[in-house]
Structure 1
Amino acid sequence: MKNKNITFGNYMYNWYMIYKYPKHEITTRNVCLTYINIHVKPSNIGRKFIQNLSTRDVQEFLSNLLQYGNKSILRMKKKGLSNWTVNKIRSLIISCLNQAVRENIVKENVASYTENIRIINVPKNIFTKEQQVLFLNNSKNYRYHLAYELLFFTGTRRSEILGLSWDKVNFHNNTIFISQVLVVINNKPKLKAIPKNKSSIRVIPLPQELMNKLLILKKEQEEYFSKHKYTNMYNLVFCTKKGDVYNPNNLLQNMKKRLKRLGLPKDLHIHSTRHTFATNLIHNKVAIVDIQKLGGWANPDILLNLYAHTLQESQIKAIDELYANFKK
């Protein structure tokens, strides 16, 4: 059996760089390498020789991640990683050891016998209508206001709105085309295309009032850049005064400050706009398949799981209305 003296951490890193790194998008690469370098390699299983690894070793490792795995320097107290993150790390380990079996380095995949990490879909925090009105009214005269409106009324992600370019805005059909995102890679904002096989690529219709606001912004931008001799480098709808990309983290921090200043609940955040959008559509009896397409969810099951509590409320109301109408 070859490579019997290699530690699991080193084997996993080499495996990833050879088999997975060339296939993955840069954001996925960064996440997976963080899992390997920050969590696996320095751990007990990472330092063990691969042929000595046991199912119990892997299970204890996963259990520790759930309890104490968050290594952020911002955490004063030890806190665990999310179930979702630990499940991703488990899947990565299983995939790695499958290759080790194929290469005859180990006889069996001990990680495949570990317990699956249950993903708990807790009810999502949403803005009430009053909170949404309060927040949008408060930000009316601020540069991010239109971006916030689009987040609330399109269900888009922060990266999608900040990655929206003017050539993807159709003023004739009143639609926007989501096909690229602005993400943070190695602490720097980077514009990248969404892979063609992703359901995130979609066309979203907009109300005429929002289209009018976009048109006004476009004209103001063109006049400003012409006057100051700046160039909108990537033709983005939302960019800095010098035409460069916004750092997505700035929008995140700005929203946090505004929410705090308004005394709104601490469990609301920028992604809550997306949950609010989906919940409002469900309450308006929009079909799940249409909500899925508008929001770019991979499949309707995700929506059904995330918003089961909301669906249940709608179903109860629908049954009550059906019965009431029948009794008339």
Structure 2
Amino acid sequence: MKNNTYAAYEIQVTKHIEPYFRNHKVLIGQITPKLLEEYYTDKLREGLSGRTIRKHASNICAALDDAVKNKIIAVNPCMVADKPSIERFSGNMLDEAQLYEVFSQTRNSRIHIPVVIAAFLGLRRSEVLGLRWSAIDFEHKVIHISHTVVKVKKGLQFSDLPKTKSSRRTLPCPEQLLYFLQKVKKSQVISYIKNQKTYCRRYLQYVCVDELGDLIKPDTLTNDFAKIINKLGYKCRLHDLRHTCASLLIRQGIPMKQVSVWLGHSSTAITSDIYVHLSFQDKIETADVLNHSIHIPDYEKKI
């Protein structure tokens, strides 16, 4: 199991599953299909998506399968409990003007660097926080995505094993981003020299650090971003910067396969499933072109 996956499972169990059943004072042999369905409903009310709750259900089911195997219970109640449906993705992407406004609002904040990088490259939170200077080849203008930083129960976990094999990728760096990163590196060197006594040396190899060299933490990035978005009156999660990047590419006519590779999806099918509503817009535009290019005799008269 990948470290990122384990960290996600750990959060599901410690933050949601274990507290819920402990608070209900339910032993494993007392878990019923009805109780599981109540758990799913409660989590939906808390704002979790159907897709996320189904992941919870998979973890619960695996634990109860193990209980059956070890003869603690006779039947796994997950097998008959109804799970929430998985809604089709509907993210809140930003347009070019809104994205520019977000950049402007974060400019003097500690999260400006990861926000800009995430938007340009469509990186996951773990990938952007895991970006190291050694991964940026300024001479050849490429960036290697091969390291992640994730939050775990005991703190942070650093890993050279991305979410999937396709997540390990090399991307050509856009000129604006390259120039931005050069300025960031120069600024960090100056800050290090100026604050040698207080500058954090532990994260010198990482790009996304604050003015005193401390690594931007996952929760800090998510929470600070949410505050700025709320201030602007937009509806957008940090992860929606990844969707914003994909949306801009698709709307500019970049083929789905290229978008999939850029995002580090394991297959084009995943990309297509998530962004089908965007690609369908292209088909509508195509239909409009045909409508204005082909004329049926006496069409207007028959209307």
Indicate the residue corresponding to 1:10 in structure 2: none
Question: 4+ runs of 1 displaced by more than 6 Å?
Answer: 20-24
Change (3 A) 1:151 1:80: closer
Q: Work out which of the residue numbers 159, 181, 194 in structure 2 matches 1:192.
A: 159
Once residues 24 and 123 of structure 1 are traced to their aligned partners in structure 2, the CA distance between those partners, rounded to angstroms, is 23
SS in 1 for 2:144: strand
Indicate the residue corresponding to 1:308 in structure 2: 276
Q: Shift in Å at residue 169 of structure 1?
A: 0.7
Once residues 124 and 98 of structure 1 are traced to their aligned partners in structure 2, the CA distance between those partners, rounded to angstroms, is 34
Indicate the residue corresponding to 1:206 in structure 2: 173
SS in 1 for 2:91: coil
The equivalences for 1:54-73 within 5 A come to 57-58=32-33, 60-69=34-43
Q: Shift in Å at residue 251 of structure 1?
A: 2.4
Indicate the residue corresponding to 2:202 in structure 1: 233
Q: Does 1:286 align with 2:248?
A: no
Once residues 271 and 290 of structure 1 are traced to their aligned partners in structure 2, the CA distance between those partners, rounded to angstroms, is 20
SS in 2 for 1:123: coil
Indicate the residue corresponding to 1:119 in structure 2: 86
Q: Shift in Å at residue 49 of structure 1?
A: 2.7
Q: Does 1:87 align with 2:87?
A: no
- Greater length-normalized contact order (CA 8 Å, ≥ 6 residues apart): 2
The equivalences for 1:144-223 within 5 A come to 144-186=111-153, 188-195=155-162, 197-223=164-190
Q: Work out which of the residue numbers 196, 217, 221 in structure 2 matches 1:247.
A: 217
Preserved CA contact (<8 Å) 1:67 1:81: no
Q: Shift in Å at residue 208 of structure 1?
A: 1.7
Structure 2: tracts of 5 or more residues without a match: 296-303
Once residues 3 and 190 of structure 2 are traced to their aligned partners in structure 1, the CA distance between those partners, rounded to angstroms, is 43
Change (3 A) 1:48 1:251: closer
Q: Shift in Å at residue 231 of structure 1?
A: 5.2
Once residues 178 and 245 of structure 2 are traced to their aligned partners in structure 1, the CA distance between those partners, rounded to angstroms, is 18
Once residues 190 and 156 of structure 2 are traced to their aligned partners in structure 1, the CA distance between those partners, rounded to angstroms, is 26
Once residues 183 and 216 of structure 1 are traced to their aligned partners in structure 2, the CA distance between those partners, rounded to angstroms, is 26
Q: Does 1:37 align with 2:7?
A: no
- Matched length: 292
SS in 2 for 1:298: coil
Change (3 A) 1:254 1:29: closer
SS in 1 for 2:166: coil
Which amino acid is 1:233 matched to?
Answer: R
Which amino acid is 1:154 matched to?
Answer: L
After TM superposition, the score normalised by the length of structure 2 is 0.82
Q: Shift in Å at residue 140 of structure 1?
A: 3.7
Q: Shift in Å at residue 288 of structure 1?
A: 1.4
Q: CA RMSD for the aligned pairs?
A: 3.1
Once residues 301 and 21 of structure 1 are traced to their aligned partners in structure 2, the CA distance between those partners, rounded to angstroms, is 22
Once residues 42 and 88 of structure 1 are traced to their aligned partners in structure 2, the CA distance between those partners, rounded to angstroms, is 21
